[in-house]
Amino acid sequence: MGKYIYLIIGIVFLLSGCIVVYNGYKPKVGPIENGPNYQHIWFLFYIFSLYATAAFIKSFLLFRVEKIVQKINNN
């Protein structure tokens, strides 16, 4: 069950990173000095991508462990 949760968490983090970049580059109305902070936008994108990658790896490993356990139990 946990493997699916980690897979969903990975997808949510990946989508969150894309939303951060989209909202950061979306044109806004306001003074010229009130522009986007590109370092902050990309920092958040990399952090979300790192968390998503970790969740995908953990989910993949849990899928592999379950497959190996099933193979051992069948023999």
Number of separate domains in the chain:
1
Phi and psi (nearest 5°) for 66?
-65, -40
Cα dist. 3→9, 16, 23 in Å?
10, 20, 30
Lowest mean per-residue pLDDT among 2-11, 19-28, 60-69: 19-28
Cα dist. 13→3, 63, 64 in Å?
15, 20, 22
- Whole-number percent of the chain with pLDDT over 90: 64
**Cα–Cα distance, 72 to 60 (Å, whole number):** 19
**Cα–Cα distance, 61 to 64 (Å, whole number):** 5
Over residues 16-40, the mean pLDDT reads 84
pLDDT tens string 40-63: 999 999 999 999 999 999 999 999
pTM, two decimals, is 0.82
Structural domain for 36, as ranges = 2-74
